[in-house]
Amino acid sequence: MTSDPFSFSLGDTRITAFCDGVLGVPVATLYRLGSEHPTPELFSDAPSELFVNAFLVEIGSRRIMIDAGSGSLFGPDHGKTKGFLGVLGCAAHDITDIILTHIHPDHTGGLISDGTPAFTNATLHIGRTEAEFWLGEGVFYAPGAGDKLKGQIATAHATIDAYSTQDRVSLFDDNGLVMPDFSSRLRAGHTPGHVSIRFDAGQNSIVFVGDIVHGDKVQFRNPSVTITYDYDQASASIARAHAFEQAADEGHLIAASHLPFPGLGYVRREVDHYRFEAFRTGS
């Protein structure tokens, strides 16, 4: 059963988390620790499912989504985000902007419906490195590009080209301003151009960390633990360590795509590791 949208206020801004769907997957078999070989016995408290979360930020007449869920790409139990917009009193055509943390199908599949843009008035914002990797020709034709990578590139084009052909794709610098109130920081590893997106509302901040973490225990305890989906395992672990360090030091709220719904909380530092503290209204 998919959870209803979860809304809260950050300063004067309403932010909503959507559970687009849930992937039933033994995550212990997907974690990696210094090797490509699975060692599930090391991760007894790994989750047995991964939530797919997307987020909406409402600022005046602007309605900005962070990622778009998986749409129909992961089957009929996914793609809930678009329908949930009605609960908030808006529709897909009311979305003005969509910022992508990276181009993976569980973040971009919801962009399209029957091959056409699901969000008919939205501008799509993508980091330069991520766009160049997935949408440029170089990687597809590079020596050693396997069928899996080529399939991912084809899916990227299927979801993004629907917007680019209508001149509704805007690229942003990996470390810089995306649009007013939103900035990007490169956290490469999960994908070559994976970014976190920071939203500042006065004295309050939230960082949408994308796929910097999968699950609410194992990788907080040991940020060196990667996941098989990471394009560059070593860089992904470094990016996670830096993201956790910053979140713990600054105390800002994080929003993550694959933490238990609503995917919101804080990174707390313990003596020799980190801990995830789930967000509660009023916290």
**Is 211's pLDDT higher than 70?**
yes
Bridging pattern class, strands 195-201 and 116-117: unpaired
Question: Taking 80 as the threshold, does the pLDDT of residue 281 lie above it?
Answer: no
Q: Mean of the pLDDT values across residues 182-188?
A: 99
Angle at the Cα of 168 from the Cα atoms of 166 and 170, rounded to 5 degrees? 145
Model confidence, pTM: 0.95
Higher pLDDT, 170 or 75: 170
pLDDT over 90, % of the chain: 84
**3-class DSSP state for residue 13?**
strand
Digit-coded pLDDT (tens) for 75-96: 888 889 988 999 899 999 999 9
Min mean pLDDT across 27-41, 164-178, 209-223 is at 27-41
The model's confidence at residue 283, banded by pLDDT at 50, 70 and 90, is: very low
pLDDT digits (tens, 9 = 90+) for 92-142: 999 999 999 999 999 999 999 999 999 999 999 999 999 999 998 877 766
Q: In the prediction, which pLDDT does 3 show? A: 82
Q: What is the mean pLDDT of residues 35-47?
A: 93
Task: Let me know: does 68 contact 36? Beta carbons within 8 Å.
Answer: no
Tell me, what's the pLDDT at 147? 85
CATH architecture of 14-278: 4-Layer Sandwich (3.60)
Roughly how many angstroms between the first and final C-alpha of the chain, as a whole number? 27
Alpha helices per DSSP H over the chain: 81-84, 105-108, 128-135, 147-164, 218-221, 233-250
Average pLDDT over residues 146-162: 91
Instruction: Provide the pLDDT for residue 144.
Output: 66
| pLDDT of res. 135 | 94
Query: What integer is the mean pLDDT of 170-185?
Result: 98
Residue from 50, 84, 55, 87 nearest 68 by CA: 55
